[in-house]
Structure 1
Amino acid sequence: MTLARQLFNWRMFWMLLACLVVFGGIFGFKFFGLHMMNRAMDNMSLPPATVTATRVQQQRWQARLNAVGSLRAVNGVDVTTQAQGKVKAIYFESGQPVDKGALLVELIAEPETAQIEVLEAERRLAEREFRRISELYKKGVATLRELDEAQSNIDQVLASLLVQRATIEERSITAPFSGRLGIRRVDLGQNVAPGDAVVSLQQLHPIFVDFSLSEQDFSRVEEGQGIELSAPAVPSQTFEGRITAIDPAIDPRNRTFLLQATLENPEGRLRPGMFADVAVKVEKFRTVLVVPRTAISYAPYGNSVFIIRKQQGKPEPKAPQKPILGRAPPPQTDLVAIKRFVKTGEVRGDMIEITEGVQAGEQVATSGLLKLRNEGGVIINNDNPPPEQLAPKPGNS
């Protein structure tokens, strides 16, 4: 029994030893493989990012006061009726330009015209009666009172004729000024009442823009000062104008004051009610450093740019790397991207002002910022650079 137990114990020992050697070899091989893979990854350089780049430019910008404005017609009304009646004729088409005094709509006026004939007959009778009384007065038969009453009858009839003719004129609706008509709001045979709108009429050339500035800028503006206007509805064009009126009072609710500028609008591209960005030109120039807006990396903790420059203390060139897993080695470059925090200022078109953080002539990345890392390699490819215009005009606008 003792011999059998000893044999069993030796068998268990050798079995455990064999398992330990087998599993130890497996785990050792796995550990060695991971170690070698980590070494290979540590020694493998990441591929450089391909970006576009440009130089920090130094420009002279004219100081401007920016505001948001609303366009308004010099003259703009809803043409309405002053009399009640049915529409007899319409002499305009929706959207057409018209001159001052042009006949737009005519209402039925037959009863009023007939009343004119009645009053004309009364006038002729009153005039004959006045001539008869005059002859009798000269002969001493009629009194002066009778002569005055005859003259009064003529005056009353003439006044009635003037009132009746004015009533008939009210049934002819004309344009109060030259401009462009809107959409017709009446139809033939429609019964209209006094005050009903017939059509909108707007004078588009020239045109006003109303905007507000802070009370701190009150002393910096004056009548005749130039402005520059751009409207999102007309993205391919900017418009020049002059300040023509400044409200003398400051609004106590928001501490701003109202200004009005006049702009030429011969083509009628600007329309009343449009939203517009207004820039008042202050007679002062300043030197600024600018980069394309695409070069700025925005973040809650601060804006930054990537400065591209050659490596400092470039190490000795390494031996050519062998392909890893069948892939070609990354291209070599001596340029690196350095992340630098900056302070931004005014934006004009595609460009943005940098007030702190860069120097004129430094090279900055303008696209592919998400691929960059601090002190990472870069390759510059400017085959398709981003736009760099102060007043961009898209070709498909």
Structure 2
Amino acid sequence: MILMLIAVVVIFGGVFAVKAIMSKGMNDFFDTMPQPAATVTDWTAKQEEWIDAQQAVGTFVAINGTDVTTEAGGVVRSLSIDVGKPVKAGTVLAQLNTANELAVLKSLEASAKLAAVQRDRWQALARDKLVSQAEAEERATVAATSLAQVEAQRALIAQKTIRAPFDGVLGIRKVNLGQYLNPGDAIVSLQALDPIYLDFTLPEQRVGQVLPGAKIRATVDALPGQVFEGEVTAVEPQIDPATRNFKVQATLANGEYNLRPGAFAHVGFDTGDARKVVVVPQTAISFNPYGNAVYVIQEVPRAEGERDMQGKPLTGKKLIVRQRFVTTGATRGDLIAVVEGLKPGERVATTGLLKLRNDAEVVINNKVPPVTDAQPTPENR
């Protein structure tokens, strides 16, 4: 019995010993097995001259823009609205029916004429002491009142001729012939388009960086590739306490009416002199809470005894990456400025950063090069 127990212990001990030896051998094999090279794209850091610039978004606003309305009610008798056409200030746009008002005007003019005759007659009698001066003054007051009523009626008739209040471009009319209009009803939109305002806001940190006379650039999504230039004409003196922003207004020429009130705009303006910076694609930066880094690609000689995945010896040189912390600056499109930590001419990895580590071997494949457009435009824009 004892011999059997000893035999069992020896057998199981041998089995466990063999397994331990095999496990150690496999671990040693995997520890020494060469890692496959990671495939990355690369970019050579270069030096460029960048002008410190700021970006904002804004909205175009007409210098004068309104819905033309009527001060007096009435039925539309005629319309002279050329939709989408420019008009001059004072151009007649609509005429309301004035038949009743003209009839009343004739009656008032007759009364005013009679009152003027009576005034003159009583003034002559007062000079001859045939009537009192008070009676003559009463007749003069009646004549003046009658004349004022005539002027008021003429003003009412004039209100029923609707004119363009300023030079501008007409929109789509909102009324029809025979329609009754109440005071304040909109007839047509009128917008002064040339020049045009561009309103945008900036954070309070930018106070003093943008002043009246500063040049600005604007682009709109509807006109890709076109840049419109203007200058700042007004800066709001008060900062909004809720948003900590302040308003800025620029004026741009708009002779072709390409820019329309209400349109969204991208605004850019320079805030300093040109300076030299080292730039790389933004995809080359590994953004981390503990600091931003790049993977610099370097060529080094292979270590003695290096082998590939099939166990064949490797000689010559290889490409490896080394992580380097950098200080980044402004961005411009797909590019970013590296203020410290990188020199012009150094190569950095631009894709596959998540699979990289210090001294990892890499293979360069630039069949799909990194995007490096300083002013990118979406294809579906």
SS at match of 1:113: helix
SS at match of 2:25: helix
1:71 corresponds in structure 2 to 60
Output aligned runs, 1:94-243, within 5 Å: 96-100=84-88, 101-119=90-108, 126=114, 160-181=149-170, 186=175, 191-211=180-200, 221-230=210-219, 236-243=225-232
In the aligned structure 2, how far is the partner of 1:188 from the partner of 1:21? 114
**Which of 297, 303, 309 is the aligned partner of 1:315?**
303
For residue 350 of structure 1, report the CA deviation from its aligned partner: 1.8
In the aligned structure 2, how far is the partner of 1:309 from the partner of 1:230? 41
Deviations 1:337-391 (A, max 9, x none): 2122222111122211111111111111222222322221222222222322222
Per the normalisation by structure 1, the TM-score is 0.74
Amino acid at match of 2:324: R
In the aligned structure 1, how far is the partner of 2:28 from the partner of 2:168? 80
Contact 1:233 1:274 in 2 (8 A): no
Amino acid at match of 1:381: N
2:346 corresponds in structure 1 to 362
Deviations 1:220-250 (A, max 9, x none): 5543221123456766544321122345x45
For residue 283 of structure 1, report the CA deviation from its aligned partner: 5.6
Amino acid at match of 1:346: A
Contact 1:59 1:289 in 2 (8 A): yes
Which protein shows a greater Rg? 1
**Structure 1 residues 18, 175: CA separation in 2 closer, same or farther (over 3 Å shift)?**
farther
Amino acid at match of 2:27: N
Output aligned runs, 1:270-285, within 5 Å: 270-274=259-263, 276-282=265-271, 284-285=273-274
- Worse-matched range after superposition: 41-50 or 386-395: 386-395
CA RMSD of aligned residues (A): 4.3
Question: How many pairs are equivalent?
Answer: 370
**Which of 331, 349, 360 is the aligned partner of 2:333?**
349
2:71 corresponds in structure 1 to 82
In the aligned structure 2, how far is the partner of 1:283 from the partner of 1:341? 27
SS at match of 2:194: strand
For residue 82 of structure 1, report the CA deviation from its aligned partner: 0.9
Structure 1, unmatched stretches of 5+, are: 1-8
Structure 2, unmatched stretches of 5+, are: none
1:336 corresponds in structure 2 to 320
1:382 corresponds in structure 2 to 366
Per the normalisation by structure 2, the TM-score is 0.77
- Worse-matched range after superposition: 351-360 or 27-36: 27-36
> Percentage identity across aligned positions?
42
Deviations 1:5-28 (A, max 9, x none): xxxx36xx32x3454455445434
Amino acid at match of 2:320: V
**Which of 371, 375, 379 is the aligned partner of 1:391?**
375
1:45 aligned onto 2:34 = yes
In the aligned structure 1, how far is the partner of 2:86 from the partner of 2:289? 55
1:303 aligned onto 2:292 = yes
In the aligned structure 1, how far is the partner of 2:194 from the partner of 2:269? 21
Amino acid at match of 1:299: N
For residue 34 of structure 1, report the CA deviation from its aligned partner: 2.5
